[in-house]
Amino acid sequence: QNLLLPWVACDQLPELWRAARKAGFARPNIRLLTDMIACPGGDFCSLANARSIPIAEAITERYQDMDELHDLGEIDLHISGCINSCGHHHSGHIGILGVDKDGLEWYQVSLGGSDGSSLSGDPLPGKVVGPSFTATEVPEVIEAVLDTYRQQRTTGETFIATLRRVGMDPYKAAAKSARIAVVETA
């Protein structure tokens, strides 16, 4: 989701950009993991099953190093707080969907989605990696998925190309291992 500032004239854009940069909003992360799409989720939407913003914040906090983000390359990460999919989780290379289980927030993680853009190829919904995860587990699962990508990729190969080449199995195993690791440390 984006911010629209219709009252800013074109000649005011450089000043606005400098102020945004000073406040920490101007980061060169376009098309990278932290340039994610996230709906408002349960914090601001009465339809949501789960909160999206804390998940987005946890992932963003974990991935602050711009060198690491550029090394990971172009990755579309989308988060939706419910099945209405305002965050388009189904079309993200990595998608996160908030679900309700017995009144508790859980998250399904899917991989391999595409919105049909030049970044992703033909439109395709992502595939769920396994059972739902708690909010605490989600950042660990994302890290495990990205570590698997690092291990499996060839030189210059994107996340989505690596996933399509090696298939879901190594990623599913990594997600499951992340869940076990979180449970064991709790």
Domains and CATH numbers, the chain: 31-185 (3.30.413.10)
What's the pLDDT score for residue 5? 86
User: How many Cα atoms occupy the beta-carbon half-sphere of 145 within 13 Å?
Assistant: 28
Q: Which residues pair with 80 in a beta bridge?
A: 97
Q: Residue 4: what pLDDT?
A: 81
Token digits of residue 54? 């804390």
Q: What pLDDT was estimated at residue 25?
A: 76
Please state the φ and ψ torsions of residue 38, each to the nearest 5 degrees.
-140, 130
- The pLDDT of residue 85 is 93
Low-confidence ranges of the chain (pLDDT < 70): 1-2, 26, 119, 181-186
pLDDT confidence of residue 29:
87
Mean pLDDT, all residues of the chain: 92
pLDDT in the model for residue 98? 97
